Amino acid sequence: MNRHRAFYIGRFQPYHLGHHSVIQKIAKEVDEIVIGIGSAQKSHTLEDPFTAGERVMMISRSLEELDTTYYVIPIMDVDRHAIWVSHIRSLTPPFDVVYSNNPLVIDLFSEAGVKIKKSPLFQRGAYSGTEIRRRMLNDEKWEDLVPKAVVKVIEEIDGVQRLKKLSKTDSPG
Ligand code: NAP
């Protein structure tokens, strides 16, 4: 019997409890999850501070207790939206449904004939990458907005210090 596999993509800068609750929900609906780390080529900017490898660690370690098979795959952007879905297909295990809330992602997959399910983030106000990065820069408490495994990864790579250094050199964008 064919296994149902879902695709979920985000930038995960960083991976937070909002993303985690979406993945827990998807895990109840399919057999396997393919998690795409979008904009994999980006790192060391205020908007995208963490490398693809660091984001792989955040996600893989957070999902260790999840009783579902998952694959975490970094995906670099391509400068032609028209070929983006084929680009993803060339890098990932086959999937039959995409979970997203991003209008462009939804349009590109719909045009390619892929089934889409909307996946709104839980408690959007706090569970937001932008809000977490803002708190890190301002010495506010951010640790309760991400899985414990992500706190450990960010400590291990000295992520808050990196962000603070970038705020002196990288223009906000
Ligand atoms: P994004 O552009 O990284 O995120 C846009 C905003 O949507 C962020 O504020 C994000 O919040 C938020 N968001 C993410 N998941 C959400 C959800 N389930 N419900 C409500 N808001 C949500 O977009 P993305 O959808 O997370 O990731 C799409 C990735 O695909 C990006 O890396 C993008 O560059 C890539 N892409 C590439 C191409 C191309 O290369 N041609 C085309 C289309 C898309 P958080 O910051 O809290 O996550």
Would 173 be classed as within a structural domain?
A: no
Would 82 be classed as within a structural domain?
A: yes
Would 116 be classed as within a structural domain?
A: yes
Would 50 be classed as within a structural domain?
A: yes
pLDDT of residue 3: 81
Residue 157 in this model has a pLDDT that exceeds 60: yes
Strand order in the sheet with 69-74: 69-74, 32-37, 5-10, 97-100, 115-118
Q: What is the pLDDT of residues 7-46, one digit of tens each?
A: 999 999 999 999 999 999 999 999 999 999 999 999 999 9
150 confidence band (pLDDT: 50, 70, 90): very high
- Residue nearest ligand 1's atom 44 by CA: 105
Q: Is 126 in the pocket of ligand 1 (CB under 6 A)?
A: no
Tracing tokens 């490398």 back to the chain, one arrives at: 51
* CB 37 within 8 Å of CB 52: yes
Q: Is 146 in the pocket of ligand 1 (CB under 6 A)?
A: no
Mean pLDDT for 46-67 is: 96
Would 31 be classed as within a structural domain?
A: yes
Q: Give me ligand 1 centre to Cα 129, in Å.
A: 10
97 - beta bridge partners? Answer: 6, 115
Nearest to 109 by CA among 128, 95, 120, 130: 95
What is the average pLDDT score of the chain?
94
Dihedrals phi, psi of 5, to nearest 5 degrees: -120, 130
Q: Is 76 in the pocket of ligand 1 (CB under 6 A)?
A: no
- Residue nearest ligand 1's atom 26 by CA: 10
171 confidence band (pLDDT: 50, 70, 90): low
Helices in the chain by DSSP H: which ranges?
17-29, 52-62, 84-91, 103-111, 129-137, 148-156, 159-169
Would 49 be classed as within a structural domain?
A: yes
Residue 172 in this model has a pLDDT that exceeds 70: no
Measured from the CA of 76, which atom of ligand 1 is nearest? Answer: 40
pLDDT of residue 125: 77
Residue among 11, 124, 142 to mutate when testing ligand 1 (max atoms within 8 A of CB): 11
Q: What is the CATH number of the domain that holds 130?
A: 3.40.50.620
Structure token digits, residue 93: 């295990």
Q: Is 130 in the pocket of ligand 1 (CB under 6 A)?
A: yes
pLDDT of residue 1: 60
Q: Give me ligand 1 centre to Cα 1, in Å.
A: 32
Q: Cβ contacts of residue 55 below 8 Å, gap of 6+?
A: 12, 13, 14, 15, 37, 74
Would 162 be classed as within a structural domain?
A: yes
pLDDT of residue 160: 98
173 confidence band (pLDDT: 50, 70, 90): low
Residue among 37, 77, 102, 128 to mutate when testing ligand 1 (max atoms within 8 A of CB): 102
Q: What is the pLDDT of residues 91-143, one digit of tens each?
A: 999 999 999 999 999 999 999 999 999 987 777 778 999 999 999 999 999 99
DSSP string, 56-98: HHHHHHHTTT-SSEEEEEE----S-GGGHHHHHHHHS---SEE
Domain count, the chain: 1
Would 171 be classed as within a structural domain?
A: no
Domain ranges, residue 146: 5-166
